């Protein structure tokens, strides 16, 4: 239906699972958080995280850097910069064994953790606005300075609902991305 979508944390993970099932043909794709014994764990705890114990031991918590892929929606929304910082609270990731297959089918991981193969932002270039992040942009958004992903979602929703209307300047700026 080409409705604007912004999936946060678990919404990012569900987007990966649905893409794997419906586009890549991985009919058993799932997350080990829901189905620990699934045969196609596209979302899982990374092997190096499984070794960590203790309260919050294997969680990605707090502020983390994200490298943005140039010429993507995320890159444009964040002002055409190559590095942003966002806040996280999760332990499940895209299993690196599936990244290449997902990308070859058209899913773009536009934000990644520096050094590690940890996917942090995804998008579908074939869709007017389809974006997901493992982060929690709500923790860095402010009333007078909305987080760029939220502004992008609002801009896309307004454009979808009011295609012929004159949109506010702040929304036009996002559309030029």
**Measured distance CA(50)–CA(45) in Å, rounded:** 6
Q: Is there a domain that residue 160 lies in?
A: yes
- CA distance to 63, 83, 101, 116, 172, per residue, from 124 (Å): 25, 20, 14, 22, 21
Q: Is there a domain that residue 112 lies in?
A: yes
Count of the separate structural domains present in the chain: 1
Q: Is there a domain that residue 144 lies in?
A: yes
Domain of 65 in residue numbering reads as 5-46+56-175
CATH of the domain at 40: 3.40.50.880
Look up the pTM and report it. Answer: 0.86
Give the tens place of pLDDT for each residue, 4-51.
999 999 999 999 999 999 999 999 999 999 999 999 999 998 766 666
Q: Is there a domain that residue 51 lies in?
A: no
**Measured distance CA(152)–CA(22) in Å, rounded:** 26
Give the tens place of pLDDT for each residue, 123-143.
999 998 999 999 887 777 777
pLDDT of residue 16: 98
């Amino acid at each position: 239906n080409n409705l604007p979508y912004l999936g946060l944390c678990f919404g990012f993970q569900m987007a990966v699972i649905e893409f794997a099932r419906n586009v890549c043909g991985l009919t058993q794709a799932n997350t080990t958080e829901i189905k620990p014994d699934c045969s196609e764990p596209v979302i899982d705890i990374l092997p190096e995280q499984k070794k960590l114990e203790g309260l919050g031991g294997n969680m990605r918590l707090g502020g983390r850097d994200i490298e943005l892929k140039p010429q993507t929606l995320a890159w444009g929304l964040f002002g055409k910069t190559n590095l942003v910082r966002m806040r996280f609270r999760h332990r499940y990731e895209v299993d690196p064994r599936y990244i290449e297959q997902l990308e070859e089918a058209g899913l773009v991981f536009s934000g990644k953790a520096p050094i590690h193969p940890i996917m942090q932002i995804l998008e579908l270039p074939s869709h007017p606005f389809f974006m997901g992040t493992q982060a929690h942009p709500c923790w860095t958004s402010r009333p007078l300075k909305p987080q760029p992903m939220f502004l992008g979602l609002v801009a896309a929703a307004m454009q979808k609902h009011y295609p012929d209307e004159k949109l506010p300047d702040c929304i036009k700026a996002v559309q030029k991305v």
